[in-house]
Amino acid sequence: MESFKDYSRMLEEGLKKVSLGSKPDTLYDPVKYILDIGGKRVRPVLALMACSSFDSNPNLALKAALSIELFHNFTLIHDDIMDSANTRRGKETVHKKWGINSGVLSGDVMLIMAYQLLENYDSKTYLELNKLLNKTAKQVCEGQQMDMDFELKSNVEFEEYIKMIEFKTAVLLGCSLKMGAIIADASKEDQEFIYQYGINLGLAFQFQDDYLDTFGQQNKVGKKIGGDILENKKTVLFHMAIANSNKFQKEKILELYSSKENSSEDKINKITSLFIETKADKSSLELVDQYTQKAIKLINCLSFDQTKKKDFINFSNSLMKRDL
């Protein structure tokens, strides 16, 4: 099986060949822009890895992988609009550069192109892939709405948060892997195992993303540190802080999270201090490890050989270290 870098190169070559359209410029330039500023392409690479692991040529999954990448970037453009974000991957967001209207339309056309790419498969495979992407797209929308709703609620339960990040983040990783397995004609059992691996890995990834939003370095994270705090997002750090806090600490956390102030460094500093006092930072990293291990256990259930399982285990550990 090829390395992550090999799959990434394959994907980049594939992206160059995708017809992204040309006119009007204000519709297609933002599409080229968001794809050019890159990212690690983790989701589409997983589709290629999964296909290869089940003894199929990863090139067979390339169109599905490109579909996933276009779909993912469509969600990022719309996400940034809803979050009023100014930067993405260290660059100006699409709606800041071209305006909200162009951002909405450019995201929409990427969604359409994502579905068009699946039309390259035979009717049976297309039906399965299309059904899976439809289910995933609906869940991503539900997760995004839950995320926005939770910003206005003070009583978000940890189980609600888990469901929200499963839908908003993890299902697309599961979808990517299952698409690769479907194209490789893997058994239904293997398809489900690799999908659940993606769900658990996606949850671990989101826990760490939440952690890095407060405790990461801006030049590595690619966005302003403390953004989740200013938006009153009930991330894993919030839930671990509430679970670990005494009465005084809990009251203070809830008071700060009910504040509408969204430009205060003081708020970021106070909540960060409470996260450290309550050991929410350590508890969150323990959850990252716990869910990574759950994902790895699922890999060991798959029918492919031990070498390929080891590749996925190494990938899982590297992803959590952001070392890809």
Residue 64 has pLDDT above 90, yes or no: yes
Give me the amino acid identity at 173. Answer: L
Burial class of residue 20 (count of CB atoms within 10 Å of its CB; 0-12, 13-18, 19+): middle
Band of the pLDDT at 258, cuts 50, 70, 90?
Answer: confident
Q: What are the backbone dihedrals phi and psi of residue 59, each rounded to the nearest 5 degrees, phi first? A: -60, -25
- Residue 310: count other Cβ atoms within 10 Å of its Cβ: 12
Q: Who has greater pLDDT, 65 or 22?
A: 65
For the segment 74-101, the average pLDDT, to the nearest whole number, is 92
For the segment 73-81, the average pLDDT, to the nearest whole number, is 95
For the segment 40-49, the average pLDDT, to the nearest whole number, is 95
Q: What is the mean pLDDT of the chain?
A: 92
CATH class of the domain comprising 4-320: mainly alpha
Q: Who has greater pLDDT, 262 or 78?
A: 78
Whole-number Å distance between alpha carbons of 234 and 304:
39
Peptide bond into 58 cis (omega under 30): no
For the segment 56-85, the average pLDDT, to the nearest whole number, is 95
**pLDDT for 40:** 86
Residue 78 has pLDDT above 90, yes or no: yes
Residue reference for tokens 């869940």: 139
* Euclidean distance between the first and the last CA atom of the chain, given in angstroms as a whole number: 16
**pLDDT for 21:** 78
**pLDDT for 277:** 96
> What is the separation of C-alpha 117 from the centre of its chain, rounded to a whole number of angstroms?
21
Band of the pLDDT at 193, cuts 50, 70, 90?
Answer: very high
Q: Who has greater pLDDT, 222 or 277?
A: 277
Whole-number Å distance between alpha carbons of 171 and 64:
15
pLDDT above 70 as % of the chain: 96
pTM for the full model? Answer: 0.92
**Which tens digit of pLDDT belongs to each residue from 111-163?**
999 999 999 999 999 999 999 999 999 999 999 999 999 888 878 899 999 99
User: What residue segments make up the domains of the chain, in order of their start?
Assistant: 4-320
**pLDDT for 87:** 86
Band of the pLDDT at 261, cuts 50, 70, 90?
Answer: low
Q: Is the dihedral of CA 142, 290, 71, 115 positive or negative?
A: negative
**pLDDT for 138:** 98
Residue 324 has pLDDT above 60, yes or no: no
For the segment 89-95, the average pLDDT, to the nearest whole number, is 90
**Which tens digit of pLDDT belongs to each residue from 162-179?**
999 999 999 999 999 999
**Which tens digit of pLDDT belongs to each residue from 26-39?**
999 999 999 998 78
**Which tens digit of pLDDT belongs to each residue from 212-256?**
999 987 655 556 788 889 888 899 999 999 999 999 999 999 999
